[in-house]
Amino acid sequence: DIKERGRDFDGVVEQYFRTVRPMHFGFVEPSKRYADIIIPHGGLNDIAIEMVAGAVQKRLR
């Protein structure tokens, strides 16, 4: 947000604690129990992504 939207550090931190973090714990964390797979490390996990892509391709055949 600082680089892309020109926001200042304090504003980004405030939004994180006021909005982003509570929404994550209120909605994302509880829904994890319904997931078939969770890709850790913010989605930057090539092995897990390849595994999911392979499973999707297999279902499409």
The secondary structure of residue 12, as a DSSP letter, is H
Check residue 41 and give left, alpha or beta (phi > 0: left; psi -120 to 50: alpha): left
**Domain count of the chain?**
1
pLDDT of amino acid 19: 98
> What mean pLDDT value characterizes the chain?
92
Collect all residues with Cβ–Cβ distance below 8 Å to 32 and sequence separation of at least 6. 38
Q: Are 49 and 43 in contact (CB under 8 A)?
A: yes
pTM beyond 0.85 = no
In this predicted model, what pLDDT tens digit does every residue of 30-59 receive, in sequence order?
Answer: 999 999 888 887 778 899 889 999 999 999
Domain residue limits at 18 = 2-60
